[in-house]
Amino acid sequence: MGAKRLFSTDYEFHASAKMLYPYLQTASGLAEWFCDDVKINNENKTLTFLWDNEEHKAMQVAHRVNHSVKFQFLPEDDGDENDPAYLEFKVETNDLTQTVYLHIADYSDFDDQKELHDLWDDLVGDLKKIVGG
């Protein structure tokens, strides 16, 4: 695989952080818009994200309730050991306008940034349909 790059973008939502957060942090919430399924292994605290019958294992390495969650993907090869891929969601509210934004940081070896942007647009479009935002 190629070198990893950080893709970062923001989306405006018309939903509260409290309403949005469960879709970013819980297995059932993520499975509704982000991937085909999420399985949690409580013994070793890993999550298995399933896309098109492909499993990608991750650990939730940080979270602040109703604010942010970060998933770090477990190494799939030697190159990943020192430079793990991660995905971070942050819910931010503009205090002046009360507008809610979802900030997405996707650090991966996905090469085509335009295709990745389109993918996130589609995924977040699905999430907006669910939360009405």
pLDDT digits (tens, 9 = 90+) for 38-57: 999 988 889 999 999 999 99
pLDDT digits (tens, 9 = 90+) for 8-28: 999 999 999 999 999 999 999
What is the model's pLDDT at position 2?
A: 64
| More confident call, 62 vs 3 | 62
Q: Helix (H, G, I), strand (E, B), or coil: what is residue 122?
A: helix
The span from the CA of 92 to the CA of 90, in Å, is 6
Q: What is the domain extent for residue 36?
A: 5-131
The span from the CA of 106 to the CA of 114, in Å, is 13
How many domains does the chain contain in total?
1
If you average pLDDT over residues 25-41, what whole number do you get? 95
The span from the CA of 50 to the CA of 66, in Å, is 24
pLDDT digits (tens, 9 = 90+) for 70-118: 999 998 777 678 889 999 999 999 989 989 999 999 999 888 999 999 9
What is the model's pLDDT at position 127?
A: 97
Q: Which CATH number covers residue 10? A: 3.30.530.20
* pTM (2 d.p.): 0.91
Q: Helix (H, G, I), strand (E, B), or coil: what is residue 36?
A: coil
Tokens (6 digits) for 52: 């098109």
